[in-house]
Amino acid sequence: MEDNLNNENEIVLDDEEVIEVNQENDEQVEENSSDVKTYTEEEVEQIKANLKKEYDSNSQKIFDSRWAREKEKIEKANAQLYQIEDVLKAQLGATDRNELVTKLGDFYNVDISKPTGKLTERQERILAKADAEDIESLGYEEMVQEANRISRIPKDQRTIHDEVVFESLAKEITEQNNKKELNEKGYDLAILEDDKFKDFRNKLNYNTSITDAVDMYNLLVKGKSIEDKPKPVKPASAGSTKSNVTQTQLKDFYTYEEAMRFSKTDFDKNPELYKRVQASMSKW
């Protein structure tokens, strides 16, 4: 009896109906996949070629800009040498610099035909600084990419050029990150140009975030609350940490969290506490 009921409830599709259902499914898949952009192998190669061309173009612009700037500096620095060279050419009958070097060597019986071609440290630093400026002009991502490349080189294997470029890029990247972080939290960027704040921040640990540094500066130096709107002050209880903080024995080191619990009044009442908090900053 159950078999008969089951057979009666089964839906049996003939071959033509099965084909129609499969066609509908295929059409649905094709419709869903029509929005996905696919690329042929030739298109992929063309995209790669365009990206390489753009990179090469930017690299050439950097080189041309740097060379034009350095060429002008060299010409100005060696103006008198060029004049001396012209006089010597005229006296020795030389038509170019190579011939002049040869005739001077023969005249004085000295081999001066093999220049060292080595730059002084000052010249290397000047060129490296110019390279860093060119990289900075390309934007944030280029700076990070180059800084990361240099950071992977062991420090004892870096050249003067590497060190100067890395230091310059790291400074610019940090400044841009600081501005972004302050902007996101609604801080006034003018504080970054405040000489007193710069001196204050130099006393902090390098890993202290810019917003933490500003909060500490406003509290410890300017006596401003971190909150935009100061909270009502409740009467301190006998066991209140806030009320007893300047009465307890002073410690040699205070964590950032401990320091931020103090108020300017605490520091005014106990200058030694303020000195010890300041001394702790470099270890945060």
Q: Among 47-51, 113-117, 172-176, 277-281, which is the least confidently predicted range?
A: 113-117
Residue given tokens 């060190």 in the structure block? 163
Q: Which residue has the higher pLDDT, 144 or 270?
A: 144
- Token pair of 282, please? 């470099």
Give the count of beta carbons closer than 10 Å to the beta carbon of residue 164: 20
> 144: pLDDT confidence band, cut at 50, 70 and 90?
very high
pTM of model > 0.75:
no
CA angle 268, 274, 277 (to 5 degrees): 155
Pairwise CA distance, residues 282 & 284, whole Å: 6
Averaged over 59-80, what is the pLDDT?
A: 75
What is the model's pLDDT at position 253?
A: 84
Closest to 98 in 3D by CA, of 87, 85, 108: 85
> 108: pLDDT confidence band, cut at 50, 70 and 90?
confident
| Structural domain spans, the chain | 61-181, 196-232+241-281
Q: Which residue has the higher pLDDT, 92 or 221?
A: 92
> 177: pLDDT confidence band, cut at 50, 70 and 90?
very high
Pairwise CA distance, residues 83 & 104, whole Å: 16
Averaged over 166-187, what is the pLDDT?
A: 91
pLDDT tens string 226-243: 444 333 334 444 444 444
